[in-house]
Structure 1
Amino acid sequence: MTPPEFDRRAVLKALTATLTILAAGRFTPAAAAEHTADTAAASASWTVQTLEAFADTLIPGERRHPGDLPIAGAVTGPGAVQAGAVDVLTSPELPLAPLLPAIGALLDTRAAAYALTHLLLLPPTSPAFVGLPFKHRTALVGGLFDPGDLDRQIWQVLSLMVGLAFDTAAHLDTRQALAGHHPGLAWLGFPAPDADGLWRFPQYSYGRALADLHPATTASGSPA
């Protein structure tokens, strides 16, 4: 079952462009942060609810309030949604944003088909994927990454972006994220900058130097 207006070629082109932007470091945290308020205002939309539920399935968190349906509340503590996953996914900086309603509809279609085959009754007042219990969301999402799944690349890139939101606070300036106690950076123990706002790492991450410094290395650390 696939939404009739779903254009895989357009989505795959947008995914490729999105990965290029992320790889090139052209994703601007300041511009993305300005988008946060718009995302919050649109949080009632079915597309955003579905994206939140997808992100929460990958990196679960606790509910923001009673009756918070997109977040299943499978764990305590903040997860991907609180870390800004939807802000990253819906950022106007990325070419994927206009296609998210179609991707959300595709995920809901897959959820409806899953519910039908597993004899699950879904509530009519929320998106199909949001209506799935957490264990069934997890089972469905796990199947989306099967090698033979036609839309596997879509879910892979969405998952990468969810991970970037939690692990790197990609939509925020790092200093801003640390000051705001970003849950992903806090969970990773990301260090605060020095007093001048710069990061320096005087200790080797492995506790020892892995190689001697080449004698031709310049003062900036570049090879001659």
Structure 2
Amino acid sequence: MRGPVAVAPDPGVPGIDRRAVLRGLAAAVAALPALGTAAAPPAAAAALGSWPVSTLEAFADTLIPGERRSSTDRAVAGAAPGPGAVQAGAITLLSSPDLPLNPLLPGIAALLDARATAYAISRFILLPIDRPPFVGLGFDHRTAVVAGLFQAGDPDRAIWQLLSFLVGLAFDTAAHRHTAQAVAEGHPGLVWTGFPPPDADGLWRYPAHSYGTALAAPHPATTPSGSPA
């Protein structure tokens, strides 16, 4: 790659308090069951700044890769055909106003860029200066950096575990969307997993047992809604 080695992330990104990040991520996971059904407004992600958003998109794309959104896309590496975590709304979920993460995301992105910079320096990789360090890495190198984040004993491992859990939820469950609307609009993760559409009234019913037979008779005091006695 052309250009000098980038020795620091975007200077405008604030420092990071690891304990605050863990508290915020834990609170975000706890808030998921009550997450609103409205998508985050575009301004919520835009307010983070282009560098943090690009870094977080590249992180999400490394976990669940997809095709580039355009020929000038830098965050998405284009390592796999079809849509990935970015197209599935990973950044929309992370920046949702229903989750307490927005103030922490620039710091998380800065931490990832610092790790990418250290990785590049140790391997004499030249990084472009017009994009965040992690985005400046090729997909194979991004994968190596992310794999290192999850090694036992890594001081920030819990941060990346929780963040990757949220990225996975955006793709696998469209956690930031009303499920019926997400299915109707062809959410890429739900399409990929073959998630079934609801009945005409917007509710899901499963008259056929997944094992082909009932495994046990319902308790006689079970309510009509299926709740246990």
Instruction: List structure 1 segments (4+ residues) > 3 angstroms apart after TM superposition.
Output: 1-4, 39-44
Residues 122, 131 of structure 1: 8 Å contact kept:
yes
Partners in 1 of 2:187 and 2:227 — Cα distance?
A: 33
Q: 1:67 is matched with which residue?
A: 72
Choose from 12, 18, 25 the match for 1:8.
18
Choose from 124, 127, 142 the match for 2:129.
124
**As a proportion of its length, which structure holds more helix?**
1
Q: 1:164 is matched with which residue?
A: 169
Corresponding position: 1:27 with 2:32: no
Q: 2:193 is matched with which residue?
A: 188
Give the Å deviation of 1:220: 2.8
Partners in 1 of 2:49 and 2:23 — Cα distance?
A: 28
Question: CA-atom RMSD, angstroms?
Answer: 2.0
Residues 15, 107 of structure 2: 8 Å contact kept:
yes
Choose from 214, 217, 222 the match for 1:209.
214
- Note the 1:35-114 alignment, pairs <5 A: 35=41, 37-38=42-43, 41=46, 45-114=50-119
Give the Å deviation of 1:59: 0.1
Structure 1 letter corresponding to 2:79: A
Q: Kindly tell me: are residues 74 and 19 of structure 1, through their superposed partners in 2, closer, same or farther at Cα, counting changes over 3 Å?
A: same
Partners in 2 of 1:2 and 1:67 — Cα distance?
A: 24
Structure 1 letter corresponding to 2:203: L
Give the Å deviation of 1:43: 8.7
Residues 42, 48 of structure 1: 8 Å contact kept:
no
- 5+ residue gaps, structure 2, are 1-6
Give the Å deviation of 1:212: 2.2
Residues 58, 75 of structure 2: 8 Å contact kept:
yes
Residues 40, 93 of structure 2: 8 Å contact kept:
no
Normalising by structure 2, report the TM-score: 0.90
Partners in 1 of 2:46 and 2:111 — Cα distance?
A: 23
Moved more, 206-215 or 5-14: 206-215
Structure having greater relative contact order (Cα 8 Å, sep ≥ 6): 2
Q: 2:228 is matched with which residue?
A: 223
Residues 90, 97 of structure 1: 8 Å contact kept:
yes
Partners in 2 of 1:123 and 1:180 — Cα distance?
A: 37
Give the Å deviation of 1:39: 5.2
Q: How many residues get paired?
A: 219
Give the Å deviation of 1:91: 1.3
- 5+ residue gaps, structure 1, are none
Partners in 2 of 1:52 and 1:196 — Cα distance?
A: 35
Normalising by structure 1, report the TM-score: 0.91
Deviations 1:193-213 (A, max 9, x none): 111111111111222222222
Structure 2 letter corresponding to 1:26: A
Q: Equivalent residue of 1:29, what SS? A: coil
Choose from 143, 149, 156 the match for 1:144.
149
